[in-house]
Every structure is written in structure tokens, then in C-alpha cells.
Amino acid sequence: MKLVSWNVNGLRACMKKGFADFFKEADADLFAIQETKMQEDQLDESMTFEGWHRYMYSAEKKGYSGTMVYAKEEPLNVIYGIEGDETGEGRVITLEYPAFWFVCAYVPNSKDGLTRLPYRMEWEEMLKAHLKKLDETKPVIYTGDLNVAHEEIDIKNPAANRKNAGFSDEEREKMTQLLASGFTDTFRYLYPEEVKYSWWSYRFKARERNAGWRIDYFLVSDRIKDQVNDAMIYDTVTGSDHCPVGLDIRF
């Protein structure tokens, strides 16, 4: 089974930059999208792919946040949001399949000066509770823009960014706690020493210099980590400030 996730930084904009070409080329079974920045009434025919089911969770605020999942196989159930999160930011979609749960998330950014860090910390606890509850019934595959570079290997300039959003001690510790609670970072599990990034600032020619961050992930329940064949970072794919990430797993 092949799974892909991509923060498109605006689906309508990304459609004009080759999204459909990559979508068809990837030929995934599930394709998760973050930061759609659109409402359902803004969908058009270019975003409808024959043979695919589409599930969309938009933010109440127009042009902001939002998640979507394309699925080849219709799920048993779809859950929009997580318990306790009343912000209406469209951040989490959960699909249930016979053998696993699939969770697509766009984790809140802590913002400059870490002004939204307190909310981010609360949200992380809600999300962990959601994942743990799902994990009690069947294994979980959790993907998306998690907005944190977990270890120093996951960021080009760790020393300069230690107190910045996405690499604060607090955010990194939340990721450590989540992994310790029963989940595996699939890319780092397979490639413990490999340096690859999934996000680059639009400023200072960061992508040209590969001054990036690895903040997009596929995590799985520990008990299925040995079913993972490969974890991919498609860092040559453009169209957003993020690149897609992928997972090949046996079920």
C-alpha cells in the first residue's frame, strides 16, 4: 500500500504548479493534503479525479488552514476534527479502514515569538489523546505537516533556530512524548542518518541552498513498524514551500 501526504500551501495555487501531474504519477492508495486554504464551494473539476473518493475539512476562516484526503477505497468511517478542539480550523481528518486508522493533520504553527505556543501545547495533548484512543482498537498511520523538526539532523541550522517556532524545546519534547507513547517516525526508523528536508522558506533562496526543515511525517503505531517497506521524501517535487512525503507499507 502506498500513501502520500503534501502540504500544498493552497490547493488552487498548487494545481497551477503541477499538483495533478504529481498526484497521477504518485498513484497512491491514500493521498493526504494539508493547508488547502479553500472551502468546498471552491472545488472545481480539476480537483476531481476519476475513481477517487474525496474528504474535505475546511477552516471556518476563508483562505486558511484546511485538510483533505483522496482515497481509492471508500473508508468504513470518517471523523472530522478531534475532541476538545473547537477552533474550527479544519486541522484533522481520520479515516477508518478494516486494518488501520489513517489520520491526516495540519498541526498549528506556534507563530513568530512563539505567541501561539500555549495553544499548540494544548492541541498536541488533544491530538495525542485522539491517536491513543484510536490505537486501542487498531493500528494508526498518522501523517501531515506536524510543524516540528524533531532532532538536530532534521534542520539545516539547529543552533540558530532553537527558540523559533517549529524547533523550540517545547515542541520537540511533545514529539518525543508522542513517539514514546507508542509511535514510530518511519523515515528516521529506516534512515537514521539520512539528511532530507520537506520544507524550505521562500526567503533567502532557501530551497536553492537546501536550507530546509523536515517537518512533514508519516508516523505509525509501533506494532506495525516492521510492515513498513519504505518512507519517502520527494524533495525534487515543487509546487509548494513543502514537498510531498510518502510511505510504502504492507497490510
Cα three-residue angle 212-102-251, rounded to 5 degrees: 105
Whether 106 sits among the annotated catalytic residues: the reply is: yes
C-alpha span between 154 and 79 (Å, rounded): 31
Helix (H) or strand (E) holding 15: helix 11-15
Do residues 142 and 128 make contact, with C-beta atoms less than 8 angstroms apart? no
User: Which residue, 126, 173, 125, is CA-closest to 149?
Assistant: 173
Told to judge if 216 belongs to the known catalytic residues of this protein, a careful annotator would answer: no
Do residues 243 and 237 touch, judged by C-beta distance below 8 A? yes
Closest CA to 66 of 94, 83, 89: 89
Active-site residue (options: 70, 97, 106, 197) = 106
Which member of 135, 145, 216, 235 is catalytic?
145
Catalytic residues: 106, 145
